Chains A and B, each alone.
Chain A
Amino acid sequence: MKKIGLAEGGGGSATNKFIKELFISRLGNEASEKMPDAAHLETGVRTAFTTDGFVVRPEFFTGGNIGKLAVCGTVNDLAVSGAKAEYLSLGIVIPEGYEAEKLEKVVDAVAETAEKAGVKIVCGDTKVVEKGAADGLFINTAGIGRVVKDWASFENIKEADAVILTSDLARHGMSVLLARGELGFEGNIESDCAPLNKMLESLHEYDVHFCRDATRGGVAAVLNEISEGAGKGFLIRENDLPLRQDVGNLCEILGFDPLSVANEGLAVIIVAASDASHVVEKLKSFPEGRNACIIGFVNGEGRVILETAVGGRRVVDMPAGELLPRIC
């Protein structure tokens, strides 16, 4: 079983050989193959730029792995802001003794996902740290892209705008929880982790006012961030929330609110009411958007209110920290 050693991170010939065989063979393109210190890219337009770190444990879970996640996270951040994702950087910190075969699977996933998203990995960095200094891979990706629309300004949000979710709730959080196996549950809930840029770019023709991806803290965190930022409120309907039965049940038995559980392939879209049904139709024409639906509307109350399954009303609060399974 080949293991990664400190030499691979030492910067000498071993490093060059390692980078060529592992990374360039999978991710190489005209900007990166000569391994310049910096990629020179044609932009010349208003540019979006973002970065994200990935430390998911375990690194492999149903529906994806840390490599796929590392591309989706940054691509989706660019896409929800209204930009066309184009170029990514990739930084990886590898613990000494990490299995080469596992690392190849991760980098393969980076390559597959980048190709599916139509983006190029144009630069990167690799470091190997001594045994015990890291319990697994630490990955960072940064991304730039051409700004097409401004979907990130709270001022564009109007009362009576529709709130659309592009996918069903809580699948990533529950998939990772099952993969960790600490609570003894088994199931095949696959993470919703997916690049959304192609699907979201198809919405540039509609009157979308705002968009944000609902990762950690789930949809509840995003709606509360928007409510605070835009000074608006939301009325959403529990019966309209897209939620798979097995995911919903697992959340219930552990005492989690699915609105507060992490997603990795779910965008919250705020759109003019008149365009709402067209946007949902368009989303549904993509696999990542097959469960898209309208869950409610913007109002002036300044809080996120849920109309419950039996018609009651309650506040959807900002989730407070770690989701912990409870008995009571």
Chain B
Amino acid sequence: MKFVKDFRDRELAEKLLSAINHEAEPSRTYRFMEVCGSHTMAVSRFGLRSLLPKNIELVSGPGCPVCVTPQWEIDAIFEIASRDDVTIVTFGDMIRVPGSRGESLQKLRAEGADIRIIFSPLDTLKIAEETGKDTVFIGIGFETTAPTSAALAKMAKELGRTNVFIAPFCKTVPEVMDVLLSDETLEIDGFLCPGHVSVVTGLDIYKPVTAKKRSAVVTGFEPLDILSSVLEMVRQHNKGEYEVKNFYTRAVKNEGNVKAQALLKEVFYQADTDWRGLGRIPKSGLRFRDEYKFVDALARFGIAETGVTDLKGCKCGDVLKGKMKPSACPMFDNGCTPQNPYGPCMVSSEGSCSAYYKYER
């Protein structure tokens, strides 16, 4: 439990909380956004909202790879999965995401489709070798997970594999942060920045945040990480002095992970892509360069980008932008529950709606 247990120390947590209570001015409200779904999960899992003063609001942002996946990318997965000679390989997160016609990979699996859940994308190579069929890995995730898709593409190339394909649905953080920052109606005083994305990107990507008079604190996923970062953001907001801070120095270097960055550049180029609830964001997607086009599942199966981002009536977009609390969505717990999710924010166990439903309803 090294690097974990000490950062869940109850006494230190109580000291941090008393400092937060002491320094948060009662007359003010503080709205901090957790960009990352894993932070949303940690906040709910450790019950941190029940400990923070009422005038500090933690709002969930667009940081869960399943939630931001636009509807056309999800329907593309079902288009590919419907071919009977194909094996789909995916992280568990995508299994229950609903397609436009209510299908899901879980239902397709029950009907006999060959769908494998894996821990590492490289497991796709072994599966492809065993089945001999066209094997498609659903490549979702941000800068932390995108290099694992890139590594799979590189290995497929080096091993000369011709039946390994990847659905290129990875997205990048700086571009979506720009969209949030340029939205005047979005009152966010500070951003709890994603610890593991920052392991790859480094801290420079958050400079635009402090330039726009908001705090940006990169932190880990344990209670002490989150509480000390909230205290730092309260202080910065009180003083009106904003600075990018690294509160996850045990894992994050300021310059980031140059090897992972190089891997991304070698395999992908930045392309415009669609986000659920946020529309088309320039340079925010990762598509395969020419020498890796042979693994691109969109090319292999002739899938066009239809640009459809949302399901009718689904308010995940506003929830993702921190404009709406999950419980304010008309479908929350009323046609949209973890048992039968309508929007992806309820599907992914990291989605703000599912975390809210499970831990704070």
Task: Name the contact of A325 in the complex, choosing from B13, B117, B360 (C-beta under 8 A).
Answer: B117
Q: Mark B317-360, 1 if CB is under 8 A from A, else 0.
A: 00000000000000000000011000000001110000001111
Do A184 and B120 touch across chains, with their CB atoms under 8 A apart? yes
Do B361 and A328 touch across chains, with their CB atoms under 8 A apart? no
The residue on B at minimum CB distance from A257 is B45
Check B64 for interface membership: any CB of A closer than 8 A: yes
Check B145 for interface membership: any CB of A closer than 8 A: yes
A324 CA / B116 CA spacing, docked (Å): 11
The residue on B at minimum CB distance from A303 is B361
Check A285 for interface membership: any CB of B closer than 8 A: no
A287-308 with Cβ < 8 A to chain B = 306-308
Do B64 and A312 touch across chains, with their CB atoms under 8 A apart? no
A326 CA / B93 CA spacing, docked (Å): 5
A245 CA / B4 CA spacing, docked (Å): 12
Interface hub of B13, B46, B91, B339 (most chain A Cβ within 10 A) = B46
Given contacts A183-B119, A255-B349, A314-B44, contact A325 B92 (CB under 8 A): yes
The minimal Cβ–Cβ distance linking A165 to chain B, given in whole angstroms, is 20
Give chain B residues whose Cβ lies under 8 Å from the Cβ of A17.
none
Do B119 and A254 touch across chains, with their CB atoms under 8 A apart? yes
A78 CA / B349 CA spacing, docked (Å): 35
Give chain A residues whose Cβ lies under 8 Å from the Cβ of B159.
none
A255 CA / B46 CA spacing, docked (Å): 14
The minimal Cβ–Cβ distance linking B237 to chain A, given in whole angstroms, is 23
Do A314 and B45 touch across chains, with their CB atoms under 8 A apart? yes
A306 CA / B227 CA spacing, docked (Å): 19
Check A313 for interface membership: any CB of B closer than 8 A: yes
Give chain A residues whose Cβ lies under 8 Å from the Cβ of B38.
328
B133-155 with Cβ < 8 A to chain A = 141, 145
A8 CA / B35 CA spacing, docked (Å): 62
Q: Mark B75-96, 1 if CB is under 8 A from A, else 0.
A: 0000000000000000111011
Interface size band for A: 20 to 34
Give chain A residues whose Cβ lies under 8 Å from the Cβ of B4.
252
The minimal Cβ–Cβ distance linking B18 to chain A, given in whole angstroms, is 12
Do B8 and A327 touch across chains, with their CB atoms under 8 A apart? no
A252 CA / B91 CA spacing, docked (Å): 16
Q: Mark B3-25, 1 if CB is under 8 A from A, else 0.
A: 01000111001100000000000
Check B48 for interface membership: any CB of A closer than 8 A: yes
Do B8 and A309 touch across chains, with their CB atoms under 8 A apart? yes
Give chain A residues whose Cβ lies under 8 Å from the Cβ of B304.
none
Given contacts A245-B1, A328-B37, contact A311 B145 (CB under 8 A): no
Do A310 and B13 touch across chains, with their CB atoms under 8 A apart? yes
Given contacts A326-B93, A326-B350, contact A313 B66 (CB under 8 A): no
Interface hub of A182, A252, A320, A326 (most chain B Cβ within 10 A) = A326
Check B50 for interface membership: any CB of A closer than 8 A: yes
A311 CA / B8 CA spacing, docked (Å): 10
Q: Mark A8-41, 1 if CB is under 8 A from B, else 0.
A: 0000000000000000000000000000000000
Task: Name the contact of B47 in the complex, choosing from A257, A312, A322, A325 (C-beta under 8 A).
Answer: A312
Check A55 for interface membership: any CB of B closer than 8 A: no
Task: Name the contact of B349 in the complex, choosing from A184, A249, A252, A326 (C-beta under 8 A).
Answer: A326
Do A327 and B123 touch across chains, with their CB atoms under 8 A apart? no
Give chain B residues whose Cβ lies under 8 Å from the Cβ of A311.
10, 13-14, 47, 51
Given contacts A183-B119, A184-B119, A315-B358, contact A328 B47 (CB under 8 A): no
Do A312 and B360 touch across chains, with their CB atoms under 8 A apart? no
Interface hub of A183, A257, A308 (most chain B Cβ within 10 A) = A308
Give chain A residues whose Cβ lies under 8 Å from the Cβ of B37.
328
The residue on A at minimum CB distance from B52 is A312
A266 CA / B65 CA spacing, docked (Å): 36
The minimal Cβ–Cβ distance linking B231 to chain A, given in whole angstroms, is 14
Do A315 and B117 touch across chains, with their CB atoms under 8 A apart? no
B65-115 with Cβ < 8 A to chain A = 65-66, 91-93, 95-96, 106
The minimal Cβ–Cβ distance linking B47 to chain A, given in whole angstroms, is 2
The minimal Cβ–Cβ distance linking A132 to chain B, given in whole angstroms, is 14
Check A99 for interface membership: any CB of B closer than 8 A: no
A177 CA / B44 CA spacing, docked (Å): 26
Given contacts A245-B1, A308-B47, A312-B47, contact A328 B360 (CB under 8 A): no
A303 CA / B50 CA spacing, docked (Å): 16
Check A44 for interface membership: any CB of B closer than 8 A: no
A257 CA / B44 CA spacing, docked (Å): 13
Q: Mark A243-268, 1 if CB is under 8 A from B, else 0.
A: 00100010010110100000000000
Do A328 and B64 touch across chains, with their CB atoms under 8 A apart? yes
The residue on B at minimum CB distance from A323 is B92
Give chain A residues whose Cβ lies under 8 Å from the Cβ of B44.
314
Do A317 and B92 touch across chains, with their CB atoms under 8 A apart? no
Do A314 and B141 touch across chains, with their CB atoms under 8 A apart? no
Given contacts A314-B45, A317-B359, contact A324 B95 (CB under 8 A): yes
Beyond A308-B46, A315-B360, A317-B359, 17 extra complex contacts between A and B, CB < 8 Å:
A182-B117, A183-B118, A239-B10, A245-B1, A308-B223, A310-B223, A310-B227, A311-B14, A313-B50, A317-B361, A321-B339, A325-B117, A326-B92, A326-B348, A327-B145, A328-B141, A328-B350
23 contacts between A and B (CB under 8 A): A182-B117, A183-B119, A307-B47, A308-B47, A308-B223, A309-B46, A310-B8, A310-B46, A310-B223, A311-B10, A312-B49, A312-B223, A313-B47, A314-B45, A314-B50, A322-B95, A324-B93, A324-B96, A324-B117, A326-B92, A326-B350, A328-B38, A328-B145
* A residues with CB within 8 A of B: 182-185, 239, 245, 249, 252, 254-255, 257, 306-315, 317, 320-322, 324-328
